[in-house]
Amino acid sequence: MQQEVPQHRQAHKVWDRTTRIFHWLNVICVLLLIVIGVMILNANTLGVSAEGKVTLKILHAYAGYVFALNLSWRLIWGFIGGRYSRWKAILPGGKGYVKQSTEYLQGFRKGDAPAYKGHNPLGRIMIAIMLFLLSAQMVTGLVLAGTDLYFPPFGHEFAEWATGAGEDHSMLVGLVPGNKEMLDPEGYAAMREFRAPFIEIHEIAFYLLLIAIFLHIVAVVVTEVRERSGLVSAMFSGIKYLDKKPED
């Protein structure tokens, strides 16, 4: 997905293949999880049956596993990946970061922002926020999959809590909400009480993530229009085009 570039611009290899694959797989997973999540939150309004809601939760969990594996690999890649994919290059902070941020903001306002091969100083703040919210969704989602559907990696432990040791926990998978067969009332109540804050965090992070995604898209579009560095196409090709020496 190359773009026609003026002669005075230089092509710079930036994003490695792993980073690009993560980005687009993450986009697909997050969009799918948002759609299914909204359907679950509005199941009663949409007239979804109890069995249908379980099916939605199972689909949500499966998409969540792909999302979690993809995100986990990206977190590891931050230590071993290419130069511009490592934590030092994508998170805010480090020597001279405040000065770089001030100079970039001033230059951006004047229409002459400093060039960066990787993320610019302000973009690194957004990346940190996005990764934090995505990680919060991953962790809380895995806990909820265990408490609601008794799915891995924590499902067995939560099933023991809800039923008492020695029960056939496999029978709990996909149990229709409201069906209390096989459940120990006290254990189940304690397990659901433990689950409550994870639901709240998952929902709050969901809405914050929607805001962050919107701001991310706006920032990318504005930066692409003003700097014309091939910011969007670079996430397909791995190549950015700069007409000045990059600061990084």
Tell me the pLDDT tens digit for each residue of 91-137. 998 888 999 999 888 888 887 888 888 889 999 999 999 999 999 99
pLDDT for residue 166: 53
Q: Is 80 left (phi over 0), alpha (psi -120 to 50) or beta?
A: alpha
Residue 239: strand pairing partners: 13
Q: Contact 124/105 with Cβ under 8 angstroms?
A: no
CA 228 centroid distance within chain: 26
Residues comprising the chain, all counted = 248
Peptide bond into 153 cis (omega under 30): yes
Confidence of residue 5 (pLDDT cuts 50, 70, 90): very low
* pLDDT, tens digit, 9 for 90 and up, residues 57-72: 999 999 999 999 999 9
**Mean pLDDT in residue range 73-90:** 93
Mind listing the domains of the chain with CATH numbers?
Answer: 10-242 (1.20.950.20)
How far is it, in rounded angstroms, from Cα 141 to Cα 37? 11
Whole-angstrom distance, CA of residue 118 vs CA of residue 111: 19
Q: Give the residue carrying structure tokens 């099916």.
A: 55
pLDDT of residue 177: 47
- The reported pLDDT for the residue numbered 197 is 95
CA distance 145 to 57: 8
